[in-house]
Structure 1
Amino acid sequence: MDKPKPNKLVVGHGAIVEYAKTVLKGEITIGKGTIVHPTVQILAEGGPIHIGCNNLLEEGVIIHNKPSEDGEERTMTIGNNNYFEVRSQSSALTMGDNNVLQVTAKLGSDVRLGNGCVIGVGMCIKNKQLQDVTHLYQRDGMIQQRIGRELPQSQTQQIDYLKNMIPSYHKIHKPTNTD
């Protein structure tokens, strides 16, 4: 039985990572300006997780790099400006920039997201590679897909607001990476 790897957390400048109620396990890098709300779980059990800059992870989000069947370590890479709404979950090893996982959406480890994708409320997506600006949603119980015309709206205003509010009410990790 493999020994669990020690936790290693790198937090970029300007990132807000709550720690009293957040579960952080394994080797995790969180880019500058990213906001990690309380009750988020980031579980790097199958290898390191690299989260880019200016991402927003709301309450109850789970980011899980699951161990592979062959025991091979794999790195999970999440780009910049992604928005994980309340209780969404992702095990996708590759996610580009400017994506939105709406409330309770779930991505399996065999999903690859391009840039600007939107995964609708409650969707559970497995075994898909989504090209840029793909929107998935449900209509009449059926999964619908369309290609959008532009990237989803930026969460910059919300991130700026939360950078001021969260430290007033929660304990946060100090940045460990000042680039």
Structure 2
Amino acid sequence: MSHNIKILPGATVCEDCTLEGDITIGGGTVIHPRVTIIAEGGPIIIAEYCIIEEYSTIIHKKCDDQEVPPKPLFIGAHNVFEVGCRLESTFGHVGESNLFECRCFVGVDVKVGSGCVIGAACHLTAPQTLTDNTVIWGSEHHIREALEKQPSQLLQLDFLSKVMPNYHRLRKPNVHKRPPSARQSQSQETSPKP
């Protein structure tokens, strides 16, 4: 499996994690040590401002149907994967602002919308679609609708991005914003100012 790891500026990615396949990590995202991300069924694109904690696993599984071309797995912004959770997916999308609590498991036949909470140690294996703002909790996998939006993790992200370099070796961003081309900068200089 070839490795094509793209880390955007502002991402904090510990060196002590396993990244295999074609993976893009968005700016502001924090990946703790001992995380495993494997893109075997196509690229994985992790949007900005996600938190992926220790011993979490994200696997983009190969589809059984060989005729279907591989699609990227897109993980939306502001998702939190707590310690030891596991997401296996063959689908192309996980929504935004979801909370995957400690040691939860989300199987390949589960689609996750936005604003969902999968409770600690809940195991979702049956084919299902979690509509936006679904909360699943307890050993009986109770389901209800969230009463309020998930709180922002921006303060925690800011704290982690400042503290983690003191305790862990980090991978450096390897995708840089391109400077404007000569043609673009000339057109900006010659355009009339209001």
Name the residue aligned to 1:14.
Answer: 10
Q: Which amino acid aligns with 1:65?
A: H
Q: Which amino acid aligns with 1:37?
A: H
Name the residue aligned to 2:74.
Answer: 77
8 Å Cα contact 1:116-1:150 kept in structure 2: no
Residue 128 of structure 1 pairs with residue 128 of structure 2: yes
Name the residue aligned to 1:104.
Answer: 103
Deviations 1:29-74 (A, max 9, x none): 0001000000000000111000000000000000001112124423
Cα displacement (A) at 1:149: 2.6
Match runs of 1:156-175 below 5 Å: 156-175=154-173
Number of residues of Structure 1 aligned to a counterpart in Structure 2? 172
Match runs of 1:111-150 below 5 Å: 111-126=110-125, 127-138=127-138, 141-150=139-148
Structure 2 distance, partners of 1:96, 1:150, is 17
TM-score by length of 2: 0.85
Structure 1 distance, partners of 2:71, 2:86, is 18
Cα displacement (A) at 1:176: 1.9
**SS of corresponding position for 2:162:** helix
Match of 1:176 among 174, 187, 191: 174
Structure 2 distance, partners of 1:143, 1:118, is 11
Q: CA RMSD in A?
A: 1.2
**SS of corresponding position for 1:28:** strand
TM-score by length of 1: 0.92
- Structure 2 residue runs without a partner (length 5+): 178-194
Q: Which amino acid aligns with 1:41?
A: T
> Between Structure 1 and Structure 2, which shows a larger proportion of helix residues?
2
Q: Which amino acid aligns with 1:167?
A: P
